[in-house]
Amino acid sequence: MTDAIDTKAEDRPEEPAGDGTDEKRTGRKPSRRTLLGWGGAGLAFGAAAAGGTAAALRLDDDAAPAAAEGEAVPFYGPHQAGIATPVQDRLHFAAFDVRTDDREQLIKLLKEWTAAAARMTAGHEVGEGAISENDELPPDDTGEALGLKPSRLTLTFGVGPTLFEKDGKDRFGLKGRRPKALIDLPTFPGDNLDAARSGGDLCVQACADDPQVAVHAIRNLARIGMGRVAIRWSQLGFGKTSSTTPDAMTPRNMMGFKDGTRNIAGTETDRLDKFVWVGEKDGDGWMAGGSYLVARRIRMHIETWDRTSLKEQEDVFGRDKAEGAPLGKRKEREEPNLRVMKPDAHVRLAHPDSNAGATILRRGYSFTDGTDGLGRLDAGLFFIAYQRDVRDGFVPIQTRLSRSDALNEYIQHVGSAVFAVPPGVRDKDDWWGRALFG
Amino acid sequence: MRAFRSSAVTVVAAAAALAVVSGCAEKSDAGDDDVIRVTASDDKCEVSKTSFPAGDVKIKVHNKGSKVTEVYVYAADDRIVTERENIGPDFKTEITATIKKPGSYEIACKPGMKGDGIRQKITVTGGDGKEKKTDPALDKAVAEYRKYAQEQADATIPLAQKFADAVKAGDLDAAKKAYAPSRLGWERTEPVAESFGDIDPKVDVREDGLEKGQKWTGWHKLEKSLWDGKKITDEDKALADQLMKDLVDWQKRVGKADITATSMANGAKELLDEVATGKVTGEEERYSHTDLDDFQANVEGAEKSYELLKPVAAKNDAALVKELDKQFGDLKKLLGDYRDGDSFKAYDSVGKDDRKKLSDAVNALAEPLSKLAGAVAK
């Protein structure tokens, strides 16, 4: 799978703030000439497509650089990594409540978090490492990632609506800074949201090829934040839901269907600029270069789905199960003919043509959190979508899907959150959210 | 890891002293030159010499007073190195102990067997002549903490007796009422109590903590009878007596616990860990639901250690002290919301959201508290 990737460039990624002496894990700066492919992630919600170009594309200067397997993804850049970055195998997503009322304390935390994130994404230990000099002290780093590769870890930071205002209170003098696009999501028909799995003042999305590296990152950020923030909820995800090379197979979701065939590719800079990155002129200056994240925990009724006939399963999605071809077509990547699909087929309803062009970048993961006490798998899709404006992306698509989607018989939305994801951290002096507080 | 260890000093009773003298201790053979003579009276405590080398020490005591007396050897932090009780008027006795660490010690006579006694300073010199200096500020903190731990144990005895008496009288309501108060002193100083490995499993073990073949005794067995079984059996009455016996044993041994500034700091963190793993979840008091009473006692005990170490910690890490002050304050304030008269709300009436708030506040305090040992050991 890595054949297409140019790994000749041996430069190390820029050393993040810290001692810089850790040679245990090294990263490589990927070549911009790297050929890479992009497969989208997530359930086929909003099977977004331009004209069938999502196969092999040459990466140009603004696109997210690809890292070879196991290596480091650059942390600094105009956009945060973990959005257009080729999707890694594993997820640990955490939403936090801010406990302090002190704006300076919050800023201090964000600076500490940024420094730790820069180190961890480069494959370094946080603080003074996992083996402290003074053995009367607990080590700064929790240690379970020692000896592991950077594993393409990305840490993506966002702020939720409640950071700006909660219970009518302007907590940090940010009320006036709340972007118009950061709306409170409307209630959709069929929603059965658990408050304990929804919302959050802050979020961090950790993606890595090694689950231990992703969990280590969230664990250490949570520890650094203790007192100032507390984890509100977190979600583990698995399932390599997209490929890094054009030839790679489109991954399948827990329902057994290929998922993400027509997602926005990380290499399609024009579509990223149009649908994902917030523009300079969008009205909220501090968000330029950022994006908006919608997360939904979608429980699947696995057992009832499994006893559904193949014909009905295929009708529900609007694609065949074996190849993933749109109904009436033979190949997965052929342009779908929406009119031959059932009116309530998932792919038909989610398609941009059914939603005035609404297009989102999906980056979801499958989850299975054991069983639910009734012997049923607590499994489904942890849906993550990035978009330039939630009002033009997730909201119209989900409005349509929640009303009519044939899939609704087999799924239930049980958790929901929305976050503004600020632009990237430019350099060592920059930090997560600087533009917001500046 | 336990913060406190039982004393590393070997105390050898007089009856066994011969074996030591004739065996491994030949080099420092306690010929009369090496013997320390203590002459006790009702108002004096005379010591024949105030400086001697580390190793095996033989103390010959003669009580010339009219009151029954006791003789103690204390380390600089007030840890009891060795002791002898019940020395009657005109009685003679010998005490043998091994004092490994050079440093300052005190010999105390306690006519009437009470109070701090009449004290004499003595110096134990090292084999290499070098004396390891300890920080007097930390010695003071440890001595103060030991005093606190002793007070807590002393105060527990009558409260536990009240509980035991109610159980023995078969008075279910009175026993339930006396249960939580009887545990507070123990909960405040639990790491010290736990350092005597044999007492904790007898008085504070939960049913799920029993080893195979271990008989369930102590507070939690009685808790189950009172709240779950709703009746007091003859066995329970016998267990109440056993609990008192074990607690008196604890009370007597507190003075011997090996306490250091570091173990105090780690003990404070351990008390918060106890809260984080046992109380916040409601596991500790699963029948009586008096978890918040224990919670409060754990926090008080941790704060006591912290307050005593604070002057030293503040010099080494002012920011840490500021943070700990804030987090102790926040946690106590939050706990205050659950007060109900002299006690606390039953924990089964505390909902999931509230429990998470308590859990977050405990983590917020315990994380910086884990750095206290480093700040006093600098």
Q: How many CB atoms lie within 10 A of CB B363?
A: 21
Q: What is the pLDDT of residues B4-36, one digit of tens each?
A: 654 434 333 333 333 333 333 334 444 456 788
Weakest-pLDDT range from A7-11, A284-288, B44-48, B227-231: A7-11
β-pair type (A35-37, A56-58): antiparallel
Closest CB from A97, A196, A226 relative to B363: A226
| Contact between chains at A226 and B367 (C-beta distance less than 8 A) | yes
What CA–CA distance (Å, rounded) separates A304 from A224? 43
What CA–CA distance (Å, rounded) separates A363 from A374? 30
pLDDT for the residue numbered B92 = 87
Nearest chain B residue to A232 by CA: give it: B356
- Grouping H, G, I as helix, E, B as strand and the rest as coil, residue A99 is coil
Domain end, chosen from B102, B134, B166, is at: B134
**Residues B110, B142: one domain?**
no
Test mutation, A100, A112, A137, chain B, max B CBs within 10 A: A137
Residue B5 lies in a domain: no
| Contact between chains at A230 and B363 (C-beta distance less than 8 A) | yes
**Residues B63, B99: one domain?**
yes
Residue A23 lies in a domain: no
Residue B4 lies in a domain: no
Residue B297 lies in a domain: yes
Residue B54 lies in a domain: yes
Nearest chain A residue to B365 by CA: give it: A227
Report which listed range, A6-10, A54-58, A120-124, A240-244, is most confident.
A120-124
| For residue A253, pLDDT beyond 80 | yes
**Residues B193, B127: one domain?**
no
How many structural domains are present in chain A?
Answer: 1
Chain-centroid distance, C-alpha B304: 13
Weakest-pLDDT range from B142-146, B211-215, B346-350: B211-215
| B377 contact residues in A (CB cutoff 8 A) | 134, 136
pLDDT for the residue numbered B83 = 82
Give the residue-averaged pLDDT of B153-168: 98
- pTM passes above 0.80: no
How distant is the Cα of B257 from the closest Cα of chain A, in angstroms?
20
- Grouping H, G, I as helix, E, B as strand and the rest as coil, residue B78 is coil
Test mutation, A109, A132, A135, A226, chain B, max B CBs within 10 A: A226
> Average model confidence (pLDDT) for chain A?
85
Closest CB from A137, A228, A230 relative to B374: A137
Closest CB from A97, A136, A196 relative to B377: A136
The CA radius of gyration of chain A, in Å to the nearest whole number, is 21
How distant is the Cα of A138 from the closest Cα of chain B, in angstroms?
7
Residue B6 lies in a domain: no
Nearest chain A residue to B373 by CA: give it: A136
**Which tokens belong to B327?**
């987090």
Please say whether the beta carbons of B280 and B208 come within 8 A: no
Contact pairs from chain A to chain B, CB under 8 Å: 33
**Residues B335, B206: one domain?**
yes
Reported as a pLDDT band with limits 50, 70 and 90, residue A242 is low
| For residue A88, pLDDT beyond 70 | yes
Total H helices, total E strands in chain B: 12, 12
**Domain span at residue B100?**
11-134
What CA–CA distance (Å, rounded) separates A141 from A128? 7
> Average model confidence (pLDDT) for chain B?
87
Domain end, chosen from B96, B112, B134, is at: B134
| For residue B314, pLDDT beyond 90 | yes
Weakest-pLDDT range from B41-55, B146-160, B239-253: B41-55
Nearest chain A residue to B353 by CA: give it: A196
Closest CB from A99, A136, A223 relative to B374: A136
Phi, psi torsion values for B179, nearest 5 degrees: -60, -60
How distant is the Cα of B372 from the closest Cα of chain A, in angstroms?
8
Question: In this predicted model, which residue has the larger pLDDT, B206 or A246?
Answer: B206
pLDDT for the residue numbered B291 = 96
How many structural domains are present in chain B?
Answer: 2
Residue A26 lies in a domain: no
| For residue A198, pLDDT beyond 60 | yes
How distant is the Cα of A199 from the closest Cα of chain B, in angstroms?
14
| A226 contact residues in B (CB cutoff 8 A) | 363-364, 367
- Grouping H, G, I as helix, E, B as strand and the rest as coil, residue A182 is coil
| B363 contact residues in A (CB cutoff 8 A) | 226-227, 230
Reported as a pLDDT band with limits 50, 70 and 90, residue B98 is confident
Weakest-pLDDT range from A407-411, B75-79, B314-318, B373-377: B75-79
Reported as a pLDDT band with limits 50, 70 and 90, residue A39 is very low
pLDDT for the residue numbered A93 = 98
What CA–CA distance (Å, rounded) separates A375 from A290? 42
The CATH number of whichever domain residue B364 belongs to comes to 1.20.1420.20
pLDDT for the residue numbered A17 = 45
**Residues B65, B113: one domain?**
yes
| For residue B273, pLDDT beyond 80 | yes
What CA–CA distance (Å, rounded) separates B221 from B204? 9
Residue A4 lies in a domain: no
Q: Tell me the percentage of chain B whose pLDDT exceeds 90.
A: 63
How distant is the Cα of A297 from the closest Cα of chain B, in angstroms?
20
Residue B299 lies in a domain: yes
pLDDT for the residue numbered A135 = 81
| B309 contact residues in A (CB cutoff 8 A) | none
pLDDT for the residue numbered B34 = 72
| For residue A165, pLDDT beyond 70 | yes
pLDDT for the residue numbered B256 = 87
| Contact between chains at B368 and A227 (C-beta distance less than 8 A) | yes
Please determine, for the modelled complex, whether the ipTM score is greater than 0.95. Answer: no
How distant is the Cα of B48 from the closest Cα of chain A, in angstroms?
41
pLDDT for the residue numbered A16 = 47
How distant is the Cα of A200 from the closest Cα of chain B, in angstroms?
14
**Which tokens belong to A383?**
């849906």
**Residues B156, B100: one domain?**
no
| For residue B252, pLDDT beyond 80 | yes
How distant is the Cα of B378 from the closest Cα of chain A, in angstroms?
9
| A227 contact residues in B (CB cutoff 8 A) | 323, 327, 363-365, 367-368
Domain end, chosen from B134, B155, B176, is at: B134
How distant is the Cα of A182 from the closest Cα of chain B, in angstroms?
26
| Contact between chains at B262 and A134 (C-beta distance less than 8 A) | no
Nearest chain A residue to B3 by CA: give it: A136
Residue A49 lies in a domain: yes
**Residues B112, B226: one domain?**
no
| Contact between chains at B371 and A134 (C-beta distance less than 8 A) | no
| B317 contact residues in A (CB cutoff 8 A) | none
| Contact between chains at A226 and B374 (C-beta distance less than 8 A) | no
Closest CB from B262, B363, B368 relative to A136: B262
Residue A10 lies in a domain: no
| For residue B238, pLDDT beyond 90 | yes
How distant is the Cα of B63 from the closest Cα of chain A, in angstroms?
45
**Domain span at residue A123?**
36-437
Q: What is the pLDDT of residues B168-200, one digit of tens each?
A: 999 999 999 999 999 999 999 999 988 887 899
How distant is the Cα of B5 from the closest Cα of chain A, in angstroms?
15
Give the residue-averaged pLDDT of A335-356: 93
Please say whether the beta carbons of B226 and B183 come within 8 A: no
DSSP A133: S
Please say whether the beta carbons of B214 and B157 come within 8 A: no
| Contact between chains at B363 and A227 (C-beta distance less than 8 A) | yes
| Contact between chains at A138 and B364 (C-beta distance less than 8 A) | no
**Residues B122, B170: one domain?**
no
| Contact between chains at B323 and A227 (C-beta distance less than 8 A) | yes
Residue A17 lies in a domain: no
Report which listed range, B100-104, B277-281, B330-334, is most confident.
B330-334
| For residue A4, pLDDT beyond 50 | no
**Residues B180, B273: one domain?**
yes
What CA–CA distance (Å, rounded) separates B297 from B219? 16
| A97 contact residues in B (CB cutoff 8 A) | 360
Strand partners, A292: A387, A420
| Contact between chains at A134 and B363 (C-beta distance less than 8 A) | no
Residue A87 lies in a domain: yes
| B276 contact residues in A (CB cutoff 8 A) | none
**Residues B339, B223: one domain?**
yes
> In sequence order, what E strands does chain B have?
11-12, 36-40, 45-47, 51-53, 55-63, 69-75, 80-87, 92-99, 103-109, 118-125, 339-340, 343-344
**Residues B280, B313: one domain?**
yes
Could you tell me which residues of chain A have a Cβ less than 8 Å from any Cβ in chain B?
Answer: 97, 99, 134, 136-138, 196, 223, 226-228, 230
Residue A316 lies in a domain: yes
| For residue A201, pLDDT beyond 60 | yes
Closest CB from A99, A136, A138 relative to B364: A99
**Residues B219, B334: one domain?**
yes
Q: How many CB atoms lie within 10 A of CB A426?
A: 13
Residue B104 lies in a domain: yes
Please say whether the beta carbons of A375 and A314 come within 8 A: no
Nearest chain A residue to B362 by CA: give it: A227
DSSP B165: H
